[in-house]
Structure formats: C-alpha cells, structure tokens
Structure 1
C-alpha cells in the first residue's frame, strides 16, 4: 500500500487494476513493486519505514530476506 502511494506507475494506470486485469488479486505481495523500494529516493524510503515503525535498513533487509527465501 505504501509503495503504491509513494511510487506511482510509469504508465499512469492504477497498480491494482493493472495487476488484476485478467484475474482478481487480493492479499498478494507484488514482488515487482517491493523491488522498487531500494531504487526510490531516501526521503520516500524514510517515510515508508516510519509508517511501518522501522528503519529503512530494516525494511531493505526484510525485503532481501523475502526475496532469498521465496525466489529460489
């Protein structure tokens, strides 16, 4: 939710409508959207991390853990 609001898509289309175009999507973690966290500017990272009561480093570490745990 935080990434959708802080980092709008390039094509201008709503992220959920794009991902749910063929099949409805609920309660799914979008890896493409999560991977964009490390590429956004530090001010936005701090804003998202503050909303989650974490530091940006903790959020990055958690995303890396999820990537390595479920990607392979």
Structure 2
C-alpha cells in the first residue's frame, strides 16, 4: 500500500497530492462512520473525475498512474 501525505479537516475533507509518484492504486483508511467520495484531480489537464463513491473504513481505489495527480476525499452529505 502506498503511503502519502494528506491534509484536510477530519472527518469531512481530505486532500492528497502525489507529485512525481505515479500510484496505480491507493489504500485508504477512512473513518467507519459515514460514506465518502473520492475524486481524482489531474493538475496538468485541470480535470476532476469521480474515482469511487460510498466508501468507508479500509478500502483501495484505482488511479490512472500519472505523475502530478491528487485526490480529494469528501464525506457525503447524506452521511452527516
């Protein structure tokens, strides 16, 4: 599993930037309470797309494996 620095406002919002690393998948350890949405951010093409939704606890998501990508993790509004 890839370890990476992450910032945010727990337990509602997290942001991770991978820099030159190019992980094809990332393991997450999200809070068990609530459901989360993960979006991949292509910082070069300035595009965002949903990578996965409805996540909680330990999970793994697939990424595109490009450098300079980021992910945004947000708690779903219906899981407040």
Task: Give the TM-score normalised by the residue count of structure 1.
Answer: 0.22
Between the two structures, name the one with larger relative contact order (CA 8 Å, sep ≥ 6): 2
**Higher percent of residues as strand:** 2
TM-score, scaled to structure 2: 0.21
More helix by share: 1
